[in-house]
Amino acid sequence: MLNPDLKLNPKLFDPDVEVKPTRHGYGDGLLELGEQNPNVVALSADLTESTQAHKFAEKFPDRFFECGVAEQNMAAIAAGLGVSGKIPFISSYAVFSPGKNWETIRTTIIYNHANVKIAGHHAGIMTGPDGATHQATEDIAITRCWPGIKVIAPCDSIEAKKATIAAASIDGPIYLRFTRDKTPTMTTQDSPFEIGRTFEFWISDKPVATIFSTGYMTYYALLAAKELEQENISINVANVASIKPIDEQTILSLIDKTGAAVTVEDHQVTGGLGGALAELLAKKKPTPIEFVGLQDTFAESGKPLELIEKYGMGKGSIKEAVKKVISRKDL
């Protein structure tokens, strides 16, 4: 069942559950930050409205910098602002930032220790009709490898707003992953969110496997969990919003109960949440893992839900992965 302690959306499983894009959470969070903290500034690379920075831009035009189609410049300007006492938020599609400007960020923000917050949008294949060039599916892999970076993938727009606001309070760079499509609201204002923490969204009496999911894919993991329960397969589902730092303690205690893991993400199965979990478990508690995500391929144009199905990431694929990992236990 849904974990009652987390005060999740009681209508989560309704067919007409509220749907809102996580990028809206960024926009709302950024605006609120602007009101609270005069040092927060924002930059955009010609994608202001799409990345929802326009609300901030309209209210605080002196603190908003339009860089045009120039993501490297945007990142390095932010670095200059960041070492000068400002708290810059840069936003673009993740394929461009941190994609195109990866080295600029590495040198001027990460290694330079500049206090810049990087918002990568249109993450995942559910970006839809724009096609693979615009669907960021390697962004978690290329960011979590940076020393000291924090990597957060919020599961819904409510978490997205909390993550954005939290980003301003931490010292140093952080990567926030946002998405285009309207996706189900799973949490409420009262649900806990904390950088470095993972929360168990679905709990069972005697779970036999754990799903670790991130971003809106947690919704499909929950649908899978509910259906598996009907088949008498009990599992638990943990929402990993904080991919780095990863919540070792919670994850290991969940694995203690189940001894089998399935990772679920709208990202390549290489190097994302799956990779992070595999690194942790291989070191601390070797466990069979099945990886649900993009299987070393690019996706294509299409409707978000069509793409999830075609590329093996829907609730059916998740259920299969759970059954497979259970069969691998004690081998």
Partner 1 sequence: MVDELHEKKLKDLEIKANRIRQLIIETLVAAGSGHSAGPLGMADIFTAFYFHILNHDPKNPFFEDRDRLVLSNGHICPVRYATMALAGYFPVEELKTLRKLNSRLQGHPHRTSLPGVETTSGPLGEGISQSIGMALAARLNNKKYHIYCIASDGEQQEGNTWEAVMFAGKDKINNLTVVIDRNNIQIDGFTENVMPLESLKAKYEAFNWEVLEADGNNIRAFVDAVREARAVFEKPTVIIAHTIPGKGVDFMENRFEWHGIPPDTQEVKGAPPKGEQAKKALEELKTLQGKVESEHQ
* Residues at the contact surface with partner 1, assessed by CB under 8 A: 41, 62-63, 65, 67-68, 70, 72-73, 75-86, 88, 103-104, 107-108, 111-113
Residue 175 Cβ vs partner 1, minimum distance, rounded to whole Å = 19
**Nearer Cβ to partner 1, position 4 or 85?**
85
Minimum Å distance from CB 38 to partner 1?
9
Task: Tell which residue, 25, 24, 70, 23, has the closest CA to residue 44.
Answer: 70
Least separation in angstroms between residue 60's CB and partner 1 is 11
Question: Considering beta carbons, is residue 115 or 268 the nearer one to partner 1?
Answer: 115
- Tell me the β-bridge partners of 41: 88
Pick 82 or 215: Cβ nearer partner 1: 82
Which position has the token pair 């070797």?
A: 286
Q: How far is the CB of 113 from partner 1 (least distance, A)?
A: 5
Structural contact between residues 91 and 23, judged by C-beta atoms closer than 8 angstroms: no
Structure token digits, residue 71: 């993501």
CB of 115 to partner 1, least distance (A): 11
Shortest reach from residue 71's CB to partner 1, in Å: 9
